[in-house]
Structure 1
Amino acid sequence: MAHQLRAPGSKQQALAGIAEALAFPSWFGGNLDALFDCLIDLSWLPEGQHVLVWTGTRALAEADPGAYAAIRDTLVDALTQRPLLRVVLVD
């Protein structure tokens, strides 16, 4: 199942967009630790493969390179724990 995130321009927009795209539960804390915790869980989604497609990655990378790198690193770390999640970053 594909989940879409489009061109967030800030760290908070990116976190909120990922949370919305993957239907995170209400307890999602809106920070990188909570992002990681939710990404390795995903128990609220149907079983099977899930793909997060993040388009317009350049918007955040240019606006806040540190935030982009931190979110990207968190995604990579979570993917090593959650083999049924894939992330596609599209410029």
Structure 2
Amino acid sequence: MSQDLTGRFVVALDLDGVTDKAGLMDRAVRALSLPDWFGRNWDALADSLSDLSVWPEEAEGRGLLVVVRGWEGYAEQRPQEWETAQEVFAHAVRAMPSLTVALALGGSS
């Protein structure tokens, strides 16, 4: 199955050095320019990824590609949290066809 990602607005969610859920949420806030009212929990992240009104304005009409990089250390230190994060990403992608979340393999630089 292939998907045309041409033209999508790309956001890098760099998790290098993140060791807990709070750190992941902080990085998500910065990378996705989430609003002040963002709840910094899994449900809020799922809702934000699935809500066009919260997406960066550059993604409007283009779709959004979130590239998660530097995630390996977090996955190793917090495997259950990482599993939840992946479930959140998968749920958001199913709910929003114009969203793609890709896990980058290798370093964050």
TM-score by length of 2: 0.77
| Structure 1 residue 42 displacement after superposition | 3.1
Return 5+ residue gaps in structure 1 as ranges: none
Give the 3-state SS of the residue equivalent to 1:30 in structure 2. coil
Give the aligned partner of residue 5 of structure 1.
13
Distance (Å, rounded) in 2 between the aligned partners of 1:18 and 1:76: 16
Residue 66 (structure 2) pairs with residue 52 (structure 1): yes
The equivalent position to 1:14 in structure 2, one of 24, 31, 37, is: 24
Q: Which moved more, 1:25-34 or 1:43-52?
A: 43-52
Identity %: 31
Q: Structure 1 runs of 4+ off > 3 angstroms?
A: none
Letter in structure 1 aligned against 2:49: L
Give the aligned partner of residue 42 of structure 2.
32
The structure with the greater share of residues assigned to helix is: 1
Q: Which moved more, 1:2-11 or 1:63-72?
A: 2-11
Letter in structure 1 aligned against 2:42: L
Greater CA radius of gyration, 1 or 2?
A: 2
| Structure 1 residue 28 displacement after superposition | 0.5
> Is the contact made by 1:11 and 1:67 (CA closer than 8 Å) also made in structure 2?
yes
What is the count of residue pairs matched by the alignment? 91
